[in-house]
Structure 1
Amino acid sequence: MIDLGILIYIDDNSTMYQEFDWIYKSWIYSGNWRTSDLIAVCHPDAIDKLPSNDPGLVKMVAEPMAVPGSRWEGYKFINSIGCLSGPHTDALVGKYTWLLRTDADVFLTANLVNFRPSVVVQGRGNYAHPEGSEVWTKMAEFCAANGVRHGGVFGCGSSLMAKSELVLHLLRRQLFWSEKLQDHFKEYGPGTWPGWFAGVITMYAAEIAANENYDTYLRYAYHRILDMESMLPYPIDSLVMHIHAVPTDEHFSKSQYRQGAYQNTDLRTLDRSKINHYAHWIAATPLDQIKREVGYPF
């Protein structure tokens, strides 16, 4: 039974096509194609560049928000939030009981196939360093200045899994707070990473949107379950359902991979039972080989 929609945004650039390849191959290899659909909301020029004739890949078109002359010019990350909210996705509530909103640069595992939570599932937010207390102070000050509750949960993850209506509601609120934060940073200045920084507005906005509805999204939620970091050398245990590719000096790093650091690796030496090796193997293995290995029918 298909009762989960995995909701992502795909922009029209080579990086995004590579990242789509990762999540698509992992969706097939892990067996998630049997119980979920992969919903790709696409830039108009991207939709025909994704696989066709796959019934589990649902493609929708949405015009990007980060275009020249718009308030979001130069901030492409808003597309992965704003383009997932609107009439084109509102109808998903009637089709899927659950939605998983995530980025494309992730690797799904077999543990997600039958996982259907009774409460909200939050990810692992890495948009501020734990020692970066400035961010938490500024976040609390921003919320107080805007009259919004902050329940004290910092670092909510970039991914969210919940009943469909809850995911779509949070996306709407995330877009609202992104706009408020953008106005704030116009006065404050862009800031610098890893401090209070305009470059991660959408991540801050997700934290605010979750905290303003603390009882729904945080009080009884499963915290830091999604977005397991791709460089972790640990076994894929029963709680590892979703691995997020990160830029790091450790293996597996998406930035190192793109620079060719692993091009001489013999894929047969990778242990797919480990987080970092699984991510590497999925990223580097051709789609046709993965389809053959698992007997994918499409």
Structure 2
Amino acid sequence: MEKNYNANAESRSDLSCSEASIDLGVLVYIDNRKETVEEFHWLYKSMIFSNLFLRSRIIAVCHPDAINLLPVDEKLTIIPSTPYLERNAEWQGYAYINSVGNFVDQSVFDECKKYRFILKTDCDTFVTPALLDFSPSGLCFGFGAYAYEEEVRWKLSQCSLRWGFPHSGLHNVGASVLGPSDHVCNFLTAQLDYCNKLIKEEFSNFEGAWPGWCKNVLTMYAGELALRCTYPQQCSLGFLDHFPSATRNIGSDVLHIHAWHTNQYWSKHDFRAGKYFDIRSDQIDRNTLGGYCHWLAQSAIDNVVNERLTR
């Protein structure tokens, strides 16, 4: 039977942010990995450069051992949180669950209630100045890339029917979500529910292989099912999680860029491997999605602040 995930929507829409102009919370989970902490600084620098702190604050749900590695900034609210997989034996070895499970907690939802909108995203992302004036009416996502095989689409339809609702045919829902705070909290609650259903009923003794039905992208499957159960008629795909391409310029239709796994410029793996070491900052074209990410990842925080002030 389909569960009502909107039952607490009214209570979650009660705004209590002390500054009326601060209406956006950026919700992110930070694990105690060197790479994840580095990536969080990319997101943080992009918020500085894009002036997003004029309307937003960061809600950092953070592994206790990583807290001291974050910037000291009053615009960060840090919520210590032991990884979900360490508290739930069935998730051992599947770290992706932390980016869902660690958010579904009353302390996190209470913080989200202080904002009109929430952007839930990953650390390896970059916001752009276009987000400064964007106000969603429903849930906005990027595009995922997990359901191009017919087997996967069929399995998702079968799961939804088995769990009490027909599938609407909407596939490849992205990892990040932006929308009214109550909508995002309800979506995350549903997503975790479907993560747990999938691990028990589909992947308890089955791993699968990409690009077929595969445990490795279980959280993405759960996001699609959660959207169907919450706001299937109040959603838009394509606003978030853009690829860091060097052939596309940043425009008002690019709110958010995700450093996906890619072998093309800009690649976070090539960046870490030192393959862009010879490119000076003044040679980077910040007007492109790839150049924007490259420059922010490479630049020190003080340089980003100075560039913002001189724009």
SS of 1:135's equivalent? helix
2:278 corresponds to: 264
2:151 corresponds to: 134
Output the amino acid matched with 1:124.
Answer: F
Unaligned runs of 5+ in 2: 1-20
2:115 corresponds to: 96
Matched, 1:43 2:43: no
1:15 corresponds to which of 12, 35, 48 = 35
**Alpha-carbon distance in 2 for matches of 1:249, 1:186:** 30
Contact 1:112 1:241 in 2 (8 A): yes
1:221 corresponds to: 235
2:267 corresponds to: 253
Shift of 1:114: 1.8
Matched residues, number: 290
Q: Aligned in 2, Cα 1:242/1:155: closer, same or farther, shift over 3 Å?
A: same
Shift of 1:146: 2.4
Contact 2:59 2:111 in 1 (8 A): no
Shift of 1:232: 5.1
Aligned-CA RMSD value: 1.7
Shift of 1:148: 3.0
Shift of 1:160: 0.8
**Alpha-carbon distance in 2 for matches of 1:246, 1:254:** 8
**Alpha-carbon distance in 2 for matches of 1:69, 1:33:** 35
SS of 2:257's equivalent? strand
1:118 corresponds to: 137
Shift of 1:247: 1.2
Q: Aligned in 2, Cα 1:57/1:93: closer, same or farther, shift over 3 Å?
A: closer
Matched, 1:4 2:24: yes
Deviations 1:151-183 (A, max 9, x none): 110011111111101101111111110011111
Output the amino acid matched with 2:190.
Answer: R
Shift of 1:188: 5.8
Scaled by the length of structure 2, the TM-score of the pair is: 0.89
Shift of 1:68: 8.0
Q: Which shows bigger deviation, 30-39 or 89-98?
A: 89-98
Contact 2:84 2:98 in 1 (8 A): yes
Deviations 1:275-295 (A, max 9, x none): 111111111111121122224
Shift of 1:93: 4.3
Shift of 1:75: 0.5
Contact 1:107 1:244 in 2 (8 A): yes
**Alpha-carbon distance in 1 for matches of 2:142, 2:46:** 18
Q: Aligned in 2, Cα 1:258/1:93: closer, same or farther, shift over 3 Å?
A: closer
2:44 corresponds to: 24
Contact 1:67 1:74 in 2 (8 A): no
Contact 1:151 1:212 in 2 (8 A): no
Deviations 1:4-38 (A, max 9, x none): 00100000010111110110010101110111001
Contact 1:35 1:114 in 2 (8 A): no
Where has structure 1 moved over 4 Å in runs of 4 or more?
none
Contact 1:43 1:61 in 2 (8 A): yes
Matched, 1:167 2:187: no
**Alpha-carbon distance in 1 for matches of 2:302, 2:112:** 33
**Alpha-carbon distance in 2 for matches of 1:146, 1:94:** 29
1:209 corresponds to: 226
SS of 1:222's equivalent? strand
SS of 2:175's equivalent? strand
